[in-house]
Chains A and B, each alone.
Chain A
Amino acid sequence: MLKMKKMMGYAVAAGMMFASSVYAQETVKLATTTSTDNSGLLGYLLPKFEAKTGYKVQVIATGTGKALKLGEQGDVDLVMTHAPKAEAKFVADGFGVEPRGIMENDFVVLGPKADPAKIRDSASAEEAFAKIAKSGAVFVSRGDDSGTNKKEVLIWKAADVKTDFAGYKSVGQGMGKTLLMASELQGYTLSDRGTYIAYQGKIDLVVDFDGGATLANPYQVILINSAKYPELNHAGARALADWLCSDEGQALINGFQVKGQQLFKATYKK
Chain B
Amino acid sequence: MSEGWLVLLQQAFGLLFSLDPEVWSIISVSFAVSLSALLITLIPSIVLGFILAFTHFRGQWIITNLVQTLQSIPTVVIGLLAYLLLTRNGALGELHWLFTQPGMIIGQMMICAPVLVAMSQAAFTSADKRAWETCRTMGAGWFDAVWVICRELRVPLLMAVIAAFYRIVTEVGCSMMVGGNIAHVTRNIPTAIALETSKGDFAQAIALGLVLLILSLVLNFLLGTLRGGSRPRSH
Contact = CB atoms under 8 A, between A and B. Distances in A.
A170 B98 contact: no
Contacts of A144: 195, 198-199
Which of B88, B182, B195, B199 has most A Cβ within 10 Å? B182
Interface footprint category on B? 10 to 19
Interface in A169-184: 169-173, 181, 184
Interface in A116-148: 143-145
A114 to B, nearest CB: 15
B199 A171 contact: no
Interface footprint category on A? 10 to 19
Interface in B94-133: 98-99
A172 B99 contact: no
Which of A170, A172, A173, A185 has most B Cβ within 10 Å? A172
B180 A181 contact: yes
B183 A170 contact: yes
Contacts of B88: 184
Contact of A173 (B87, B181, B185): B181
B198 A171 contact: no
A170 to B, nearest CB: 4
A144 B183 CA distance: 11
A171 B192 CA distance: 10
A143 B22 CA distance: 14
Contacts, number: 31
A169 B185 contact: yes
B182 A171 contact: yes
A184 B98 contact: yes
Interface in B178-235: 180-183, 185, 187, 191, 195, 198-199
Given A144-B199, A181-B180, A184-B88, A172 B187 contact: yes
Nearest to B88: A184
B43 to A, nearest CB: 32
Contacts of A173: 180-181
A173 B191 CA distance: 11
A171 to B, nearest CB: 5
Nearest to B201: A145
A89 to B, nearest CB: 24
B199 A184 contact: no
A141 B187 CA distance: 14
Contacts of B198: 144
Q: Across chains A and B, which 9 residue pairs bring their CB atoms closest together, nearest first? A: A172-B195, A170-B183, A169-B182, A172-B181, A181-B180, A184-B98, A171-B182, A171-B181, A171-B180
22 contacts: A143-B183, A144-B195, A144-B198, A145-B199, A169-B99, A169-B182, A169-B185, A170-B183, A171-B181, A171-B182, A172-B181, A172-B183, A172-B187, A172-B191, A172-B195, A172-B199, A173-B180, A173-B181, A181-B99, A181-B180, A184-B87, A185-B99
Interface of B: 87-88, 98-99, 180-183, 185, 187, 191, 195, 198-199
